[in-house]
């Protein structure tokens, strides 16, 4: 007899922090900490972890959790006057018991709705009233879906603007064996060169040194090919025109207290984002940004993945 899986459970995580565990009928799972509204685990039906979380991650407020999917809001990086990546990733979120309906084709019961509203302290550094709703869901085939909805609830009639990213850390076998397809020939801002604008070459992106680039006007589908694991991550996104690619490499890895010296070899951030053009909402308006992650076995043809199948097909 199979044990019936409880699709949603609230329990305690590291250092007693509250977390929600999602389990899909076929065996995939996800974990979300209320601290940061932060996804820290996504496993396929074989129990393999798809996300990278540092062995030195500090699960203790106010430090953001190193790895998983941090939410950058209302500011990405240093693109503004707030702290790096804004404050949503180090606030305690609430479970949203009565969220407005979210159209979905999925019948999965493995999902949770979270909400973040500004505290009095937040209003001092970012004087706007908003509701940030996040739904994290597992699809029937183990896909991970994140939907963010940000609404301007200012009573003073004032609009506000923000930048945003799902700062996803993917787990990879070896960074030197990984490539990204879907960003060829695009313009990007290079954070290692004062955000100067360049154009990417025509080949798939591979890695041999530190990278921190914001690709602009990117397609809705991007693929990360991991040769050694024979696995391809497919990123589908909506409402998020940019894609940030980051790996700190050895020197920066050694300088981060919450990151192992060699861990840069086993992670890659590819982040669905809205950075170059901030999103502006008038009172009552809502923005929606959606991310869907799936992992598929790589199909090889004379040693190469068939990119058409991944980027144009399933």
Tokens of 253: 């890895």
CA pair distance 61, 59, nearest whole angstrom: 7
| Distant-in-sequence, close-in-space partners of 301: CB < 8 Å, separation ≥ 6 | none
Q: Does position 304 have pLDDT exceeding 60, yes or no?
A: no
Q: For 258-268, what is each residue's pLDDT tens digit? A: 999 999 999 99
Tell me which of 79, 85, 128, 167 is the catalytic residue: 167
Question: Helices in the chain by DSSP H: which ranges?
Answer: 120-125, 249-255, 307-311
Q: What does the alpha-carbon distance between residue 37 and residue 93 come to, in Å, rounded to a whole number?
A: 6
| pLDDT value of residue 267 | 98
- In the structure encoding, which two tokens stand for residue 21, read together? 């565990």
pLDDT digits (tens, 9 = 90+) for 204-259: 999 999 999 999 999 999 999 999 999 999 999 999 999 999 999 999 999 999 99
Binding residues for substrate: 66, 84, 89
pLDDT in the model for residue 103: 77
CA angle 120, 124, 129 (to 5 degrees): 65
Burial class (CB in 10 A: 0-12, 13-18, 19+), 141: middle
Asked whether the predicted pLDDT for residue 302 surpasses 80, the reply is: no
| Cα dihedral sign, 89-222-51-261 | negative
167 is known as an active-site residue: yes
What pTM was computed for the model? Answer: 0.93
Phi, psi of 103 (to 5 degrees): -60, 130
Q: What is the pLDDT of residues 121-176, one digit of tens each?
A: 999 999 999 999 999 999 999 999 999 999 999 999 999 999 999 999 999 999 99
- Dihedral of the alpha carbons of 81, 84, 86, 89, in degrees to the nearest 10: -170
pLDDT(89) > 90: yes
Identify whether 85 is a catalytic site residue: no
Tell whether omega for the bond before 179 is within 30 degrees of 0, i.e. cis.
Answer: no
| CA atoms of 281 and 129, how far apart (whole Å) | 11
Sign of CA dihedral 255, 293, 287, 118: negative
Whether the per-residue pLDDT at 308 is higher than 70: the answer is no
């Amino acid at each position: 007899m199979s044990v019936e899986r409880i699709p949603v459970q609230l329990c305690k995580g590291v250092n007693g922090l509250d977390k929600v565990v999602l389990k899909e009928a076929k065996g995939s799972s996800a974990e979300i900490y209320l601290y940061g509204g932060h996804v820290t685990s996504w496993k396929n039906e074989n129990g393999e972890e798809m996300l990278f979380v540092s062995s030195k991650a500090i699960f203790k407020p106010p430090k953001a959790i190193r790895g998983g999917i941090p939410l950058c809001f209302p500011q990405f990086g240093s693109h503004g006057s707030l702290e790096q990546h804004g404050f949503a990733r180090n606030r305690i979120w609430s479970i949203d018991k009565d969220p407005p309906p979210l159209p979905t084709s999925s019948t999965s019961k493995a999902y949770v709705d979270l909400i973040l509203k500004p505290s009095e302290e937040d209003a001092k550094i970012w004087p706007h009233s908003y509701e940030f709703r996040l739904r994290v869901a597992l699809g029937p085939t183990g896909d991970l879906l994140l939907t963010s909805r940000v609404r301007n609830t200012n009573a003073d009639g004032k609009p506000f603007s923000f930048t945003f990213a799902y700062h996803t850390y993917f787990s990879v076998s070896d960074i030197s064996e990984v490539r990204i397809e879907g960003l060829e020939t695009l313009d990007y801002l290079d954070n290692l060169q004062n955000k100067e604008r360049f154009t990417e070459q025509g080949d798939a992106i591979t890695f041999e040194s530190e990278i921190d680039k914001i690709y602009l006007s990117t397609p809705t589908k991007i693929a990360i090919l991991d040769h050694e694991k024979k696995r391809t991550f497919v990123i589908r996104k909506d409402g998020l025109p940019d894609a940030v690619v980051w790996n700190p490499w050895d020197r920066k890895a050694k300088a981060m207290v919450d990151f192992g010296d060699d861990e840069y070899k086993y992670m890659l951030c590819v982040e669905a984002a809205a950075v170059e053009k901030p999103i502006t909402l008038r009172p009552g308006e809502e923005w929606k940004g959606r991310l869907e992650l799936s992992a598929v076995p790589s199909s090889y043809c004379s040693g190469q993945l068939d990119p058409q199948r991944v980027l144009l097909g399933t």
